[in-house]
Amino acid sequence: MLEVNISGLKLNSPLILASGILGVSYSTMLRLINIGIGAITTKSIGPRPRRGFKNPSIIELYPGTFLNSVGLGNPGIDNFISEIEEIKSHKIPLIVSVFGDSNETYLDVALKAQNAGADAIEINISCPHAEVSSIGIDKGLTFEIVKFLKEKLTIPLFVKMNPNVTNIVEIALAAEKGGADGLVAINTLAALKIDVNTKRPLLAHGSGGLSGKAIHPIAVKKVYDLYKLLKIPIIGCGGIDSWQDVVEFFLAGASAVQIGTAFYKGTEIITEINHGLTQYLKDNGFKSINDVKGLAHQFKTQEVPDFD
């Protein structure tokens, strides 16, 4: 009932680990595989090791809502290849998130990941506290990098969308035109929290990316808008910590979802959500989670009446 197919990737569950959470070591990724996650997205990996920003780099602002500026800290692709190879000893789709400082470095990292066994590439062009965000806010740059990578890669290419734009649909359409196989919507929202006593930002870097419960309705709205115009699949991401949140994304038009922040509760949330989804489908007479996709679009919103 929970099986989905995303651009040729076959998942036993629609739940995918979101980039940036737990996806940097084989041991933590293995825990999620054993508990029933459908696919793994690694932490964003770059061309060389990167320390990231100093602590404090993540804080909980409100229950279930976090602000982070980790700064794309990662071991570099050459040091990460062994992790990719170990994960691929398990029969589960592995999506490697990559970033770079030019189209060529994006390609170099992506090709190394592909050669190591990655099943798909997710390009991070939208992290709000790193340089890569400048790509994901421009439809021309988005089209160029997607087209450039698609000409060289033989595995599916997903694009992580930046919500910090005026019109996310035009950026998404540019990615689709460039040949993207799917979109991930959305990345974190640019945000800032200032301590009124110290009179300085709480994070060492200053601003960061907002994730968790507070952004869930925003992410659902973005997926809903994208589904109206795009032909490629959309992976919903933002504030999921229950099966109801997953169903909501599917109703808006998502073909799968990514979970990240909610793991502060523990990895058992995967089991809970999978069970809740299965029960929901049975209770509502659906044979598959795919039958739920886009159903909210059958609802007609009320038109504003004209004045007489």
The answer to whether the beta carbons of residues 153 and 181 sit under 8 Å apart is: no
The C-alpha atoms of residue 274 and residue 272 are separated, in whole angstroms, by: 6
Q: What is the dihedral of CA 267, 271, 272, 276, to 10 degrees?
A: 150
Among candidate residues 201, 146, 134, the one with its CA nearest the CA of residue 173: 146
Q: pLDDT (tens digit, 0 to 9) for every residue of the chain, 308 residues total?
A: 999 999 999 999 999 999 987 757 788 888 899 999 999 999 999 999 987 777 888 899 999 999 988 778 899 999 999 999 998 888 899 999 999 989 999 999 999 999 999 999 999 998 765 566 678 889 999 999 999 999 999 999 999 999 999 999 999 999 999 999 999 999 999 999 999 999 999 998 888 899 999 999 999 999 999 999 999 999 999 999 999 999 999 999 999 999 999 999 999 999 999 999 999 999 999 999 999 999 999 987 767 677 76
| Global pTM exceeds 0.85 | yes
Q: Please give the domain boundaries of the chain with CATH numbers for all domains.
A: 4-52+72-190+212-298 (3.20.20.70)
Amino acid letter, residue 138: D
Active site amino acids: 127
Strands 94-98 and 120-124: parallel
Give, in order, the Cα–Cα distances in Å from 27 to each of 22, 31, 34, 84: 9, 7, 11, 12
